[in-house]
Amino acid sequence: MSHYHQPFLKRKIIEFVVWPLQGLMVALIVGLIRLFPVRMTSAFFGKVISLIGPLTPHHKRARTHLRYAFDDLTETQEAKILSDMWAHFGRLAGEYPHIHNMGSSKFLTFHGLHHLENAPEGGFVIGGHIGNWELHLMVSAMLNQPYGAIYRPLNNPYSNWVLDMRAKRGMGDFYAKGQDAARGMLKTIKNKGMVYLFTDQKYREGVTAPFLGHPAATPIGHIKLALKRKTPIFYMRIIRREGCHYDVTISEPHYIYTDGKVTDALIEKHAREMNDVLSDFIRQTPSQWLWPHRRWGKDISK
């Protein structure tokens, strides 16, 4: 049930008691993590979450989704992927409070960075919740490029400041999902900036296209805009190599526009191509994708 559909008294208790306490707890945890080096906090939380994650309901959901996408895994392979996934996400938790200091060659090895460096017209940078997705925005910050990113605000306003840690570097604008996102994308593209999108989440709008072999609602707003404004699309993947070091791979620009009429069939074609690229990313490093997320809805997660 949505928070704003809760009974009045319960809603007020959440707003005036639960949320402030949660916000205080988050502030204390983030402050504590920042007292220690990122390599230490990454390793520590990787170990802790690898022990806690399998005990939560999210583990069963992740296993269901993994089997849905890969029906040929042995039990040993499945267990290894899920175990590595929890360790990876624990490391992400230990790294996030340091995220604004991780956008450098000390932590990142680039492959194809010149594709973004040589894109004066801006473009769309498509990625997924693979590896350390929060580092995507650090790339444009390093290049001193204007950029925009779409995000979903947290329900708890006392914790929303955590999302702002990603904006401490560079010339970035953040747009909440919805109408703000549509206007924000257009604004950033007009300013010849890079729009960062993660299109591997569950959506209610868009078109239906295969994702890891199964139908999934897929966003198309950026595809329409890229076709209309003749803007290139790039794909970015940031994969953990070892410890806190990541490989950043950026594709060459994909110019999807044509001189012909923009049709629903053309839009759907590019939506399928996008899902194919992200599906291949996940297949290459399945232990670094967010398997507990309900990409295909709740029906298969029961």
Alpha-carbon distance values, 87 to 66, 91, 108, 241, 279 (Å): 16, 6, 20, 14, 22
Say if CB 262 and CB 227 are below 8 A apart: yes
DSSP secondary structure letter of residue 125: E
Q: Quick one: 162 exposed, middle or buried, by C-beta within 10 A (0-12, 13-18, 19+)?
A: middle
Instruction: For Cα atoms 230, 120, 224, give the angle at the middle one, nearest 5 degrees.
Output: 25
Q: Say whether 214 sits in a helix, a strand or coil.
A: strand
| pLDDT of the residue at 163 | 67
| pLDDT of the residue at 140 | 81
Rounded to 5 degrees, φ, ψ at 49 are: -70, -30
Say if CB 267 and CB 228 are below 8 A apart: no
| pLDDT of the residue at 111 | 95
Residue 198, token pair as written in the block: 């993660």
| Rounded Cα–Cα distance for residues 264 and 260 (Å) | 13
In the predicted model, residues of the chain with pLDDT beneath 70 are 1-5, 163-171, 301-302
